[in-house]
Amino acid sequence: MDVDDKVFKVAAVQMVSINNKEVNLKKAEEFIIYAAKEKARVVVLPEMFNFSGKLNQKRENAEPIPGPTINRLKDLAKKFNIYLLCGSILEKSYEKGKNIFCNTSVFLNPEGEIIAKYRKLHLFDVTLPDGSILRESELITAGNEVVCVKTSLAFFGLSICYDLRFPELYRKLAREGVQVVFIPSAFTLQTGKDHWEILVRAKAVENQFYVIAPNQIGKDTEGHRFWGKSMVVDPWGTILTKAPEKECVIFAEVDLSYQQEVRKNLPSLSHIRKDIFNF
């Protein structure tokens, strides 16, 4: 990795997705192009950026990977010479004699190639404070693999939304040496107002890496409300940038020399009691 590459600009896209895939994709493409023109080297979309709708609509709009959505974004990544984290889409895959659906994130390199694919490990099966019941597992099959990828720019780790509540995943990524973690999300308003910032900053502090966390904002066509407040956080837990209450792109600089300095001066990861904890 060249010295010049130790500092690079990243972008997080905050948007609301509706039950019209073409509208969502055009919006995402506009944000990506804007971020690329602002010299972002890495652009990160939120969870389920290409479609949000009723259960039957989600099934109908699921795609293989690669498929129409990813192929469009592969072209953009190549055209603008960027790394592009395709937040997540609903992936349809035929495995073990049946169709399954996964909440899947795809990472593209500047050549437009898929360099990592991650299926969400932890599914959002909860009852919200207002009594609303959400069961992601009604449709989606959980993944079973922790995913990280080394590039010429940095060592990246992948996760999605509700994964944020499970520190074991992020500690494993940290132990692998990951420098930057993606957390594309559709974090709800009800949980986000109390937990979003705390959880995002905690992951950065505990594991001493950068966190890029784009979130959905506003209300989708089904009436689900999302917290927004997309952010980029450094390894000290400092919020480098936070999105306002609207669809937008936010920018920050990742400085890998600073990340190395934090880990050197406060070497908590090397102080883990491996004789007690199974890490």
Mean pLDDT by 10 residues, the chain (279 residues): 73 98 99 99 99 95 98 98 99 94 99 99 96 94 98 98 98 98 98 98 99 97 94 99 99 98 97 88
Residue 279 lies in a domain: no
Residue 247 lies in a domain: yes
The pLDDT, as a whole number, for residue 174 is 98
Distance CA 146, CA 152 (A): 20
**Residue 237 near residue 259, CB atoms below 8 Å:** no
The pLDDT, as a whole number, for residue 279 is 63
Residue 151 lies in a domain: yes
Q: Which strands, in side-by-side order, build the sheet including 98-108?
A: 114-119, 98-108, 83-95, 42-44, 7-14, 248-255
Residue 95 lies in a domain: yes
Structural domain count, the chain: 1
Residue 173 lies in a domain: yes
What is the maximum alpha-carbon separation in the chain?
53
User: Domain span at residue 119?
Assistant: 3-271
Residue 61 lies in a domain: yes
CATH number, domain with residue 31: 3.60.110.10
The pLDDT, as a whole number, for residue 2 is 43
Distance CA 209, CA 248 (A): 24
Residue 277 lies in a domain: no
Residue 92 lies in a domain: yes
The pLDDT, as a whole number, for residue 3 is 39
The structure tokens listed for 162 are 């509700």
Residues marked active site are found at 47, 120, 161
